[in-house]
Amino acid sequence: MRRAVGREPRRLARWWRRRSLRTRLTVIAATAIAVSVFVAFQVASELLDWELQDAAEDQLRADSRVLASTAERSGVAQVPLPPYPGSGHLVRVILPDGSTRTPAGQPALPPVSGPAAQVARGASTDLMESTDSDDDGYLIIHTLRAGDGAVQVARGTDDSPINRFGLGMLLIGLLCVAGGALVGRAVARTGLAPIDRLTAAAVRVAHTRDLDADIPDEGGGEIRRLIQSINEMLAALRDSRRAQRLLAEDAAHELKTPLTSLRLNVELLIRLDRRGTLDSALLAESRTRLLDDLGAQVAELSTLAAELTDLARGDVSDESTEVLDLADVVVAAATRARSRVPDIEIALDVTPVEVSGRPAALQRAVLNLIDNAGKWSPADQPVQVRLRAEGASAVLEVDDAGPGIDAVDVPRVFDRFYRADSARALPGSGLGLSIVQRVVDAHGGRVAVARSARGGALLRVVLPATAPPARVTRPTAGEDTVVR
């Protein structure tokens, strides 16, 4: 039984959730009007009942005073009591010995109560009381001291005005509920019209995949903010689709050259092998050079694929943000750069400074900066990497002693796949610095290009620090490493 009782509210809640917003507004409006009419009826009925009772009591007091004045003049035993006319108020005289006199033909009144008898004996002057009657109502009896006895005037309650009033209020309430439902329906239809148009526009965008169709800005308040938010979402989707299209086009363009070269070299090897002239047609030196080219092209494709994957993921990463020492990240990136390119020489001058970020992403950015500088720095000149704290920021600088970046190339140096004319003969995909900027932007920093004191390129990264740097001394990471 308890389970059945508990299921009813849940069923009602499920039924309510399945209703449309228009139906909910209609039901709410009709319910609100019904509750308002019911409360108004209850309050008005109580007020009407009080008013009728006050009027009846005032009338009884007036009639009692008239009868009492007559009784005082002629005595309570001789006061004339005309025959009962068949309607109107009821009267009774209480004699000093406790007996009573009533008009001829008048219905019997309830026995004299104790408080009324005390009024007749002179204990008090008057008394207003009510008692049950035989007509499913009640009598209001006013007892007033008169001479050496008392007089009583009684009147039965008349509920007909209240009943007529209740019936009228019921009819009015039903009309109000019906009208409220209609008004609620109309208000819901009018108020939700922008929502309906917004829904239709969203469905149209979903079916046509046309993200360029902005939803007309109409309505006001919450509706306008909702439409503006959806338009902003569509604009973000348009930008994302445009970025994906550009990335796909740029990736196809960049992959075309190494794939073509790789395919030609592989086809050459296959043809010579099928003819059985591989050893005679290619000298050992040429074969070694061809295999080296194949290995370099495969490595270039692998690097490009990894960078494209990293770039296409954008800011989506499972790596959590934590407070870390950026100096550890820089030293780890320098170690990886040395293992990848043993010929590169790196001079570190880093100061411990804490930042909030993703360690792997920051290390990838620093590694790309070092790799970029290593491509340009002469063999006898090290890549200098400096990390220091400036106020509330961590400043990372990577410079080389190469030819530097031309002024015309500076505005586009962080663009995806952009490579200066002087860099097209060097290995690389043109994505490294673009990844650097994306990582720095995601960490709330900024990156800039300048010319170093040695004449090469100076790339400066500024990240917000989480705390003032601690001045500690660490063991050196290598012969050309200085860590303060």
Q: Please check the confidence at residue 29 and state whether its pLDDT lies above 80.
A: no
How confident is the model over 131-189, as pLDDT tens digits?
Answer: 776 665 678 888 888 888 888 888 877 666 667 777 777 787 788 777 777 777 777 67
Q: Which DSSP string do the residues of 302-364 spell out, in sequence order?
A: HHHHHHHHHHHHTT--SPPPEEEEHHHHHHHHHHHHHHH-TT--EEEEE---EEEE-HHHHHH
Helix (H, G, I), strand (E, B) or coil at 277: coil
- Among 113-122, 309-318, 327-336, 379-388, where is mean pLDDT lowest? 309-318
Helix (H, G, I), strand (E, B) or coil at 77: coil
How confident is the model over 181-207, as pLDDT tens digits?
Answer: 777 777 767 766 777 777 777 777 777
- Which is more confident, 450 or 403? 450
What CATH number does the domain located at 322-483 have?
A: 3.30.565.10
Do the domains 217-313 and 322-483 sit in the same CATH topology, yes or no?
A: no
Q: Please check the confidence at residue 219 and state whether its pLDDT lies above 70.
A: no
Q: What is the mean pLDDT of residues 20-45?
A: 77
Tell me the C-alpha distance between 293 and 298, whole Å.
Answer: 9
CATH T-level topology, domain 217-313: Helix Hairpins (1.10.287)
Q: How sure is the predictor about 331, in pLDDT bands with cuts at 50, 70 and 90? A: very high
Q: Please check the confidence at residue 268 and state whether its pLDDT lies above 70.
A: yes
Q: What is the pLDDT of residue 387?
A: 92
Q: Please check the confidence at residue 444 and state whether its pLDDT lies above 80.
A: yes
Sequence spans of domains, the chain: 1-191, 217-313, 322-483
Q: Which residue has the tokens 């050893």?
A: 279
Q: Please check the confidence at residue 2 and state whether its pLDDT lies above 70.
A: no
- Among 315-319, 395-399, 434-438, where is mean pLDDT lowest? 315-319
Q: How sure is the predictor about 363, in pLDDT bands with cuts at 50, 70 and 90? A: confident
The pLDDT mean for the chain works out to: 76
Tell me the C-alpha distance between 343 and 414, whole Å.
Answer: 26
Q: What is the pLDDT of residue 361?
A: 82
- Which is more confident, 223 or 38? 38
How many C-beta neighbours within 10 Å does residue 140 have? 21
Decide: 29 and 184 in contact? Cβ < 8 Å. yes
